[in-house]
Chain A
């Protein structure tokens, strides 16, 4: 079943249902499916795209429901205004909770969201004058079940459509990038914190909207509907349907609404049912029901032979991807006597190094000399204890990684970190876009301007892929690339940000000799095309000697020599450090 057929069937079923039955019980059930779909579509943006789990979304659902209920009863507001109020309240509180909660992740985030949900639940019970206490609010003007059905179905369809648009936009890619590797995403100028707050806010707003619709459907709300168990069911529906997949929310919502109704005779076993479904989802359906079906379909239709990859097509395409920024006079990167120590172990002391524009400076030294630490200091992942780092004359010491990346510093990692959840070309598109994600509204609505920009981003990403010899594998998932190509992809992604300074951490490690030769040619070509200045941390001496303008040698955290390749080769201190004999 292709996705298109699946969506068409779902839409047909939704349209046909009222004609098939006038039974309000079935319509009510369908409404419940719709509501759950809206919440889980939002939760999918948070959990499926950015990888953060919330166990407190019943809180936002409740906020939306109560905001709408209060607006409709106390203020006698029309329904559309009440719904807007609900969305606003949930979104504003969502942003506030997110900016506090997302400073932590994993089990801590789970705790904060649980705590939020419980606080909301208890405020609803305690604040009797406003919320009506345990009894809740009733006599809310309600819609007929039939009317509700059309409204909820339409909103659910829109919610799914919005998340689909988001998934295909620069925002969606940035979210998936943050989920795959927060460290690598920040190296491209993305603030993981900001992107997660955005995702959290979107999910809170959708939960609030669903809450408002819930109020109009029932005409009565009480705290009982918004407990921790409700939050767990939200998450369960998403996991069961398929985390991160676009159809997952709809499938999960349907299953989680219909199954308990089919098993009404077993009402006492409901928690066991939920628990088992949760375990089943985690054990056997890591991509949910949708993922399982889609996976099988893909296996059947996969082409027998994957196009032979074109390592041969390595000649760098003329860098049509835009001219690199003009060089500045003086050193581009200036490192002044920086030092850092970790728990008493001195990693670097008094390191001074400067990198002029368009030069290739290699940093070599024995294992543990502090080479990678130096890169982590330059890119902001570590904070130096002393000294200063300047980029183009501006002090960048102590800035967060994404801020340094935005100033034109790109890097690769010792262990390549491509975004495994994205395709190869999407990886590079994250780099091309960098922090320029465009308007969020445009991304959600899929506006025409946005689409043009997408094509432009893709075209430029393809050019970088062609240059790194990855054009033939553009549409493959990054996770399927072998180690050597993962490194190439990382270089393409870093270059795509059009950096002034590129830091490469052992790009030749684990490459075959022929691949190293290619790397050599590419780096030389980059320099000839007036590309970025490069700091190269590398053990492969042939490569280092061949392409470097200058070499700095680190040993035990100090620079023991620096100069032209020839001078360094003859330096007695270097020979001693490498061979352990006094020369």
Chain B
């Protein structure tokens, strides 16, 4: 699950050397929109899902237009702050429309737990890694096997040369943002029945996913997938054996440790220094 959101950071980073720091808020928007359409309006799940994903693509595009394009490839980290700004505005808007309280998102898959050797879990919990891994594979296939995916990779490698080859850079970056927001939205929809829906749910998910992206290596999709799984397992262990509060402490301490030892991530490549 973290892997899924973290992959979104990877996609925009790989294409544009910028990241959407409101990625966690995209998860929240996904959950909130899905709740509004499916629970409040009572539309069928399939239609609701479609609407949600479209809304997320739109969210990604808006963030890109407002917060990223003006600062694209400038040395300043302005995009970092402006995407944070987009995120907190989104949180506030969601609060106004949705209310401050968490709401349950009923799902057929969380009605009856499956019992395996004493430990119970919901089918929904199985859905998360299954859908997550499937999507990750699809993203990889898209990047490596389709012409459009290759275009995005070309932009990542050298935007100027890609531009000369007739690739529309701005459109590629926009597509990357839309795609990464959609991935976050899927994560939001999957998580909604498990965590309940609340406007404040985004920040911590976004941060943890960012931690995962850094541990795995921002430039390495497989690294992120592995790190996402590892981080989830670690959290479960610490929360189970120590305490839920220690979970965050251990997790973020790990990020600092990784950054100090291998700033480019566990499976990433060290960048060459340019003078």
Contacts and interface: CB of A to CB of B under 8 A. Distances in A.
Interface of A: 53, 100-101, 103-104, 106-108, 110-112, 114-116, 118-119, 122-123, 125-126, 183, 228, 232, 235, 239, 268-272, 274-276, 278-279, 282-283, 342-343, 372, 376, 381-382, 413
Chain B interface main SS type = helix
Contact of B86 (A275, A283, A413): A275
A283 B81 contact: no
Contact of B248 (A101, A104, A122, A276): A122
A107 B84 contact: no
Given A111-B259, A123-B249, A271-B95, 5 more contacts: A107-B19, A115-B256, A122-B246, A271-B92, A275-B85
Contacts of B87: 275
Contact of A268 (B95, B255, B272): B95
A274 B88 contact: yes
A107 B66 CA distance: 19
B248 A278 contact: no
B164 to A, nearest CB: 20
A103 B246 contact: no
A118 B253 CA distance: 10
B245 A122 contact: yes
16 contacts: A100-B259, A103-B259, A106-B77, A107-B77, A107-B80, A111-B259, A118-B248, A122-B249, A123-B249, A126-B243, A270-B92, A271-B89, A274-B85, A278-B85, A279-B67, A372-B275
Interface string B226-269: 00000000000000000101101100110110011001000000
B93 to A, nearest CB: 7
Give the 5 A-B CB pairs with smallest separation, nearest first: A271-B92, A275-B89, A115-B252, A278-B85, A126-B245
A111 B89 contact: no
A278 B81 contact: yes
Contacts of A271: 88-89, 91-92, 95
B82 interface: yes
A183 B275 contact: yes
B248 A119 contact: yes
A367 to B, nearest CB: 17
Residue with the highest number of chain B CB atoms closer than 10 Å, among A100, A107, A118, A125: A107
B88 A275 contact: yes
B256 A100 contact: yes
B125 to A, nearest CB: 25
B93 A272 contact: yes
A342 B272 contact: yes
- Residues of B in contact with A, size category: 35 or more
A104 B259 contact: yes
Contacts of B70: 283
B255 A112 contact: yes
B211 interface: yes
Contacts of A342: 272
B210 interface: yes
A491 to B, nearest CB: 18
A159 to B, nearest CB: 24
A135 to B, nearest CB: 14
Nearest to A47: B77
Given A104-B259, A108-B214, A119-B253, A239 B80 contact: no
A278 B95 contact: no
B96 interface: yes
Contacts of B88: 232, 271-272, 274-275, 278
A119 B253 CA distance: 7
Contacts of A275: 85-89, 92
A110 B214 CA distance: 12
A228 B203 contact: yes
A101 B256 contact: yes
Contacts of B194: none
Nearest to B246: A126
B92 A235 contact: no
Given A119-B248, A126-B246, A114 B207 contact: yes
A282 B86 CA distance: 12
A108 B259 contact: yes
